[in-house]
Amino acid sequence: MSTTIVYRPADGTELARVEDTPIERLDEIFATAREAQAKWAKTPTAVRAGLMLDASRALAAARDELGQVDSDNSGKSTRDALREAERCSAALVYYGGWADKAYGATVPIASEVFTYTVREPYGVVVGITPWNVGLRLSAKKAAQAIAFGNACILKPAPETPLPTLKLVEIMESAGIPAGLVQVVTGGGAQGAALVEHPGTDLISFTGSTVVGKQIAATAGHNLRPVVLELGGKSPQVVFADADLEAAADSVLNGVFRFAGQMCVAGSRVFVEDSIYDRFNDMLAERTAAVVVGDPADPAVHVGPQVSAVQRDKTLAAIAQAQADGARIVAQAALPTDPRLAGGYYTPPTIFADAGPDSSLVTNEVFGPVFSVARFADEAEAVSLANGTRYGLAAGIWTSDGARAHRMVRDVKAGVVWVNSYLLLSDQLSFGGDGDSGLNREGGDEAFHTYTKAKAVSYALTKWPITLSS
Ligand code: NAD
């Protein structure tokens, strides 16, 4: 049996050892899920909603413990990890509220027949999550699945299994039936085996574009529905008429938060010509004041990256950008505390003069690094914003309402923030276009993604359609 060592990103020390789920156990795990799902689907919907509310209360009560586990394992600041824990509870409230409201429609076709649609659960949903926001995404995927009568098998990233294991333990202790939400631990081998398993009825994957495409290929071959939330290289566009102080604060938060390990990181910043130098100075001044260090320290803005591997990837991206001729506009200092010497820290860095086709501008770094470039007018801003194969999120900063709406219309993204960035809610749809994903989750999109329609025709008179009619 293989074991994964889980590290504490803040100082690189060992946090736990977690046994990987043997692939041979998957048949049994799917059988358990199928059995639990059959009972759950027959449970009155209001009872299901009530149990999900109970689970949300238990998660709220366990917020500090859950947040601490997440902060220790993911390296998020305690403040951010506590918010993530609160959002788990909120997800159970929101999707629990859908449990008894997920119905089809009557469809009037002819007076001789009663026609309607029923929304049915798929059955067993496989939810695979990445390490950056693994806790919240596990809660979201599980809540979306079970709200609509499915079972869920979660597969957290091998770097961060602990928050998901704790989440499911709390949900079960609050009354979510055993076996309805299970956790498979391990890495790509376990993930791929889950995707390929014939017991899989729907795949909900959040992670990299490379793995997403592999999953889509398997899902296509096996004719399984799939929702993919993948990478991004999102633009933040700042026009000269924007509130520049607010924009500068938000732009930094939109890419340095979680040490840049956000799929929606706004890592391509485009600034209108007339304010370009001034805005760069504002960003540089703020970056110089960014404190990198121990995520448990409330004075710290940016914590470590999740792993030594991710830190090294970010450092390599910084070196590559320099080799490609980009210029460092500002860079925050690394922590000097010897206790953190083994931690996975990278310096928040802003680049200018990066070529539009350079690796820095076209590839996701997943670290606290971004490029700034100038634009002359709205048309150029749109063209630059849409200049990658991704289409996840976009930020627009302007005080001109009509222009804001034109930009919203023209940018290629599943999520757009105007004069803001990073508002995420279970009440809103989430997903991306192009290499950023396929289909949507969240809000009422969850209802469509996690249920399937059955069309029913019930004859009210002797049925007239025969071979001879
Ligand atoms: P990853 O794709 O390497 O891994 C994600 C998950 O997939 C992990 O649980 C991993 O074990 C599993 N996995 C790996 N290979 C697999 C395979 N062949 N089949 C099935 N599962 C497999 O991604 P990561 O490095 O953990 O996370 C970072 C990536 O996630 C970034 O690209 C980021 O943009 C993306 N992300 C996207 C969103 C979004 O909602 N769009 C949110 C968070 C992160």
Question: Which 8-state DSSP code applies to residue 264?
Answer: T
N- to C-terminal Cα distance for the chain? 65
Helical pair 162-173 and 134-147, crossing angle rounded to 10 deg? 40
Mean of the pLDDT values across residues 266-290? 98
Distance CA 188, CA 457 (A): 44
Mean of the pLDDT values across residues 49-73? 98
Cβ atoms of residues 314 and 88 within 8 Å: no
Cβ atoms of residues 436 and 414 within 8 Å: yes
Helical pair 276-288 and 244-256, crossing angle rounded to 10 deg? 50
**Which atom of ligand 1 is least distant from the CA of 232?**
34
Cβ atoms of residues 54 and 224 within 8 Å: no
Which phi and psi angles does 196 have, rounded to 5°?
Answer: -80, -20
Closest CA to ligand 1's atom 39: 229
**Ligand 1 pocket: which of 129, 131, 208 to mutate (most atoms within 8 A of CB):** 208
Closest CA to ligand 1's atom 31: 208
Average model confidence (pLDDT) for the chain?
A: 97
Distance 40 CA to ligand 1 centre (A): 29
Distance CA 105, CA 84 (A): 36
pLDDT of residue 469 exceeding 90, the answer is no
pLDDT, tens digit (0-9, with 9 covering 90-100), for 73-114: 999 999 999 999 999 999 999 999 999 999 999 999 999 999
Distance 205 CA to ligand 1 centre (A): 7
**Ligand 1 pocket: which of 76, 230, 307, 441 to mutate (most atoms within 8 A of CB):** 230
Mean of the pLDDT values across residues 342-361? 97
pLDDT, tens digit (0-9, with 9 covering 90-100), for 384-421: 999 999 999 999 999 999 999 999 999 999 999 999 99
What pLDDT does residue 221 have? 98
pLDDT, tens digit (0-9, with 9 covering 90-100), for 232-241: 999 999 999 9
Selected catalytic residue, list 141, 155, 166, 412: 141
In the three-class reduction of DSSP (H, G, I as helix; E, B as strand; rest coil), residue 343 is classed as coil
Q: Is 441 a catalytic residue?
A: yes
Distance 461 CA to ligand 1 centre (A): 54
pTM here is: 0.96
Which phi and psi angles does 391 have, rounded to 5°?
Answer: -165, 55
| Binding-site residues, ligand 1, Cβ < 6 A | 128-133, 155-158, 187-188, 191-192, 195, 206-208, 211, 214-215, 229-232, 263, 364, 366, 392, 432, 437
Q: How many CB atoms lie within 10 A of CB 32?
A: 17
pLDDT of residue 1 exceeding 90, the answer is no
What pLDDT does residue 177 have? 98
What pLDDT does residue 426 have? 97
248 pLDDT band, cuts 50/70/90, is: very high
Cα 323 from chain centre:
32
In the three-class reduction of DSSP (H, G, I as helix; E, B as strand; rest coil), residue 119 is classed as strand
What share of the chain has pLDDT > 70, as a percent?
100
What share of the chain has pLDDT > 90, as a percent?
99
**Which atom of ligand 1 is least distant from the CA of 218?**
19
What pLDDT does residue 266 have? 98
pLDDT, tens digit (0-9, with 9 covering 90-100), for 131-141: 999 999 999 99
Distance 445 CA to ligand 1 centre (A): 21
Closest CA to ligand 1's atom 30: 207
Cβ atoms of residues 463 and 131 within 8 Å: no
Q: Is 263 a catalytic residue?
A: yes
Mean of the pLDDT values across residues 11-35? 98
Cα 146 from chain centre:
18
What pLDDT does residue 182 have? 98
**Which atom of ligand 1 is least distant from the CA of 130?**
26
Alpha-helical (H) ranges within 306-426 are 308-323, 359-362, 378-385, 401-410
Burial level of 157, CB count in 10 A (0-12/13-18/19+)? buried
Cβ atoms of residues 404 and 378 within 8 Å: no
Handedness of CA 391, 388, 368, 282 (dihedral sign): negative
Mean of the pLDDT values across residues 225-249? 98
Handedness of CA 27, 28, 33, 35 (dihedral sign): positive
Which phi and psi angles does 330 have, rounded to 5°?
Answer: -160, 150
Q: Is 141 a catalytic residue?
A: yes
Selected catalytic residue, list 84, 263, 272, 412: 263
**Which atom of ligand 1 is least distant from the CA of 229?**
41
Distance CA 78, CA 67 (A): 7
Closest CA to ligand 1's atom 19: 192
